Each structure stands twice: as structure tokens, then as C-alpha cells.
Structure 1
């Protein structure tokens, strides 16, 4: 029986993810590990058991519950890092299904998104060169044209995907409660986007960071749920996916 202890960097290389992700899993108890002094170590045997269990008893991802012909789902996370985690999972599934990807940035920097997606195993440079991935600045589009600006970008990229022979566009935006200046404009944007997605084959997610310390943020997020077909509560230990007719 192999008793070799692996470092966090070694496990990250094996799983094609980042060391920060492994640290987060370890701290949350999602991954078997032991702490020796200040450093984490993972038994190779435990890693192999976890990988085998994932192969033979895979958990159904929330992505498998999406309508792959078209959907618009709100995602609530507790941190900006989790936004990237869910987007990577979402984009990898879209690539596996042979679809074109769209990433809309509000508070995120486009170059930083490229870097983080690449670190998490998505070959951004190759995909952008082949026009299989578009990373757009929605905040800039809003500044120039109001709520119609980012909606038009979603629409134009979806129609471009269709013209290129793709059946569906897999897209993620990452708004926050202040991205449109005030909450009423944000609601108007989400409502307009929802109506557009009804007419165009898009599987779209809108990840928000849930900040319960901010005044009125909870009530605002509840209002936004009505602009989506479902809500995913995405956490480090457990996730729950609810359809609109369930909430």
C-alpha cells in the first residue's frame, strides 16, 4: 500500500487545478489531507480512492440539471473565488458538449479572467484564436449605451454562434448589485436579458456574490431571483439548485 504523501502543488498538477483551490477544499473538509506543521499533505492512497469514487459514484452536477437548449440561472456564492470556480465548471461542460463560450465581465478584469481560466485548465488563448470563446467587457458596454449595451453583446454573440453552426451559446456574466449604478437599473437589465434569452438558444448563468452584511442586499437578491428560471446556491461544502417554480 502506497503511503507516499503528496504536496498541495503535486495534487493540483494531478487534478489540473490551482493550489489555491486545493487549499480551499482542504480547509472546507471536501478533500482528505493532514497538516504537518504549517504544511498540508495528501496521501496518494486517499487521492486515488477519491478519484475512483468520483468515477464509479459521480455526484450529479447542477449543470446536468440545466436545460441545455436554453436556460437563465442565477448563482449565489460567498466569494469572488467561488464565482471563478463555478464559471470554470460551467465552461468545461460547455466545451465537452461542443458549444461556443461567452464570458461577460462586470467587476472582473478581462486579462485577469484570462489568466485565472487558464490556470484552471481552460486553454483561453487557443479558444479565443479559434473564436470558440469571447470575453467581453459588459461594464464598458453599460457605460456607453446603458442596459441595452450588455444585452446587445449577449444577443450578438449568440447570433454569431448560430451563424458559425453552434446550436447553443454557453455564457456567464458576473454582475453585482452596484454594476448598473442602482438596483432598479440592474433589475431592468436582468429582465431584458431574460426576455432575450427566451428567444435565443443561450444557456446562461449570472453568478452573484452574496454579501449579507450589505444593507438590503438580501432583499435585492430575492427580487433578482424572479428574473431567472432557477437559482443555484453554490458553496464549498454543498450546493443546492432550485427551479423557479420551487421557490
Structure 2
């Protein structure tokens, strides 16, 4: 449940206007899976503050900002925006729709279809579902059903043999670069560019490595939760990628970058 402010214009279709709202109001504004664009807030106070700016963001005559929101009595709030009390807008308290899981790639909304797309989908498929608690439906060597993350790591490991013929886990985003911080020789944090390694530490191999950031993790490309902390990405095998703990933390709850989606969608599919 969130507070929705009434936008002016047609940001569903007007991309320039949509960009203005996002620039002004940030992650409160998003395109839903039903192709509607709105701005939703957890706190009514923040919704009211931003509602006063709607007209000027849209390029219309600015609202008067001296008035404060008044409760209607059903959870909604009314905001006077001009000298006439009848000149007001309604801020609705309602169920916020799920953000679209499509990622804009070169201007085109694109579905994530990563390298595990040919694996069987789990029965418990849905937004916000984790990979490490859902049954994959595949039986392991011990005769027991594998959790999704175990199955995905097993498929990855089986596809990559080292010179000794032993399976090793490879990152699906090897070579990906991102800004990070590290400690220098003076124990000071300094900015640098990190690069995703090819071979990751197998989480089943003990003891763990000195650098826990190199451990392989099964990553939701469209994150389990969006930037508003609402359920978003599903546990579909199409939405899975194996990457390092360090890169996984960098991606946490952010909209996936186009480069990530392009690389994963173009990757060959693993054989189940």
C-alpha cells in the first residue's frame, strides 16, 4: 500500500515528461507491468511535499505551496493547490502495482532471458521468491530434491572442467567492470574499478576463501525487491545468473544495467 500523487500530462507515452518526473521525484516513480506510470510513496508527508511540485515539473502553472495536506478520513489526503478551496488534488492510498520486470535496452523494453533459461521452472514461481529456499524439482545424487541455487550451481559446475577434469564454477559476467572501493596500503578506502573474475570459489568447498567476495552466488538479474523494497524479480531460471558475492552486493536492489541484460541474454543457454 502506497500514496499515489496525481501526475499531469501523459507520462505513460511521453518519454520526455516521464524522465522529468523521475528526475524530480526519483525512485518513487516507475512504469508498472500494466504499462502505467505513477509515483507512489510509503509516507504521506513525502507524497504531499512532492505533490506540490507536480505542475511545475509538468510545465504547467505552479501550484501554490503554502497549503498542507488534510486527511479525508479513508486513508486518502487532499491538497489545496490554489486560493479557491475547491482547487485541490487527491492523494490516494492504494495498492501499488508491481514495477515492470522489463529492462530498457537501447530504448527497447526487454525481458531478461539469461543462460539458465532452458532449466525447468520451479513450482513456487513468483515475485520476491529466493533461489535458496525454493525446490528446483530436480533430484540430486543423494536422491533428494535440490534447491534452485544448488541446481543452478551444479549445472554451471558441470559445464566447466579445468585441466584436471574437475568442475569449477564460472561467472556468467566474467570481465564485467564496476566502480568499487578497496583498502590501500595505508588502510584507507580508495576508489577503483573492480572486474568480475572468470573462476569463482565454490560455496560447497570448505574452508571458505580469505576473500568472501569471490564466492559464487546465484543472482536475481531483476532483483527480488525493487528500490522501494517491494517484491519485484521472480525466481524464474530465466532471471538467474551466477556471479561473485562482491558483484551481487553491488547490484543489490538496483535496476539492472542494460549491459548486464544484453550480455546474459546473448549468452549460450546451459544444458539442463
TM norm structure 2: 0.26
Q: Which structure is larger by alpha-carbon Rg, 1 or 2?
A: 2
For CA contacts below 8 A with separation 6 or more, give which structure has more relative contact order: 1
